[in-house]
Amino acid sequence: MGVSTSRPEKGVALVTVDFPPVNAPPVAGWYELAGALTAAGRDQDVRCVVLAAEGRGFNAGVDIKEIQRDSADGGHDAILGANRGCAAAFAAVYDCQVPVVAAVQGFCVGGGIGLVGNADAIVAAEDAVFGLPELDRGALGAATHLSRLVPQHLMRTLFYTSKTVGAEELHRHGSVWQVVPRERLREAAMELARDIAAKDGELLRLAKQALNGIDPVDVHRSYRYEQGFTFEANLSGVADRVRDSFGRDGR
């Protein structure tokens, strides 16, 4: 359980997340993921990173129970830790020195959107669904990253309703490179990573910097701005009210 890194073939690092039962990492898990991605990108033998997950889904966001336990004791350490840990992990994807390919199966919600929205390419299984159920869970954030996957009005509708969209729809929008049967997901992601890793490593690293440099939105600043409203919701008590309701009825 946790985050592991392997080298399945020359030039490619595979970073795998495994936090049963739903891949909702605790605060420490987000920092662990950030460290693994950063280390993989710094390895001069690596030219592409594949970010994958074990289990039913790619990522279910933060560990709400960890936040609820801390909040019940009147503390804010968990929500602050989740905010900072997510920001670190999302930034590690975006700032990774080499391209990052996300291999997504099942649910990709909440923090999962932050990860894939900052990836360079996405390969998805046919059963993959993407969305931000933040309003149902007493939080805000990652609209910055959902905006990189779908057009603005669709992003807003998804955010306000907490609905999800499937991999095929994101493929039509051009944000998912390929949709494959679940049993072929890892293979398809590796095929794309292999094509990327075939390029000159030094030039790839320059290309990553160049593409980040021409982005129209500063994803780091934009996401941290959103997180300020998440903390405001916690201080006001509305976040606890919504999270407690989610815990009771599973919405």
Cis peptide before 21 (omega within 30 of 0): yes
CB 67 within 8 A of CB 82: yes
Q: What is the mean pLDDT of the chain?
A: 93
- The two beta strands, 100-104 and 48-53, are parallel
Q: pLDDT, tens digit, for every residue of 14-27?
A: 999 999 999 999 99
The confidence score (pLDDT) of residue 90 equals: 98
Q: pLDDT, tens digit, for every residue of 188-238?
A: 999 999 999 999 999 999 999 999 999 999 999 999 999 889 888 888 889
pLDDT above 70 for 70: no
Stronger pLDDT, 145 or 137, i.e. the higher one? 145
**Token pair belonging to 68:** 């609820």
pLDDT above 50 for 173: yes
d(CA 103, CA 45): 21
The confidence score (pLDDT) of residue 135 equals: 94
Dihedral sign, Cα of residue 31, residue 219, residue 160, residue 239: positive
Among 245, 239, 105, 241, residue whose Cα is nearest residue 180: 105
Domains in the chain, ordered, with CATH?
A: 2-183+200-249 (3.90.226.10)
210 burial via Cβ count (<10 Å: 0-12, 13-18, 19+): exposed
Give me the percent of the chain exceeding a pLDDT of 70.
95
pLDDT band at 250; cut points 50, 70, 90: very low
- Detail the DSSP E strand segments found in the chain: 2-9, 12-18, 48-53, 100-104, 107-109, 121-125, 129-131, 164-166, 178-180
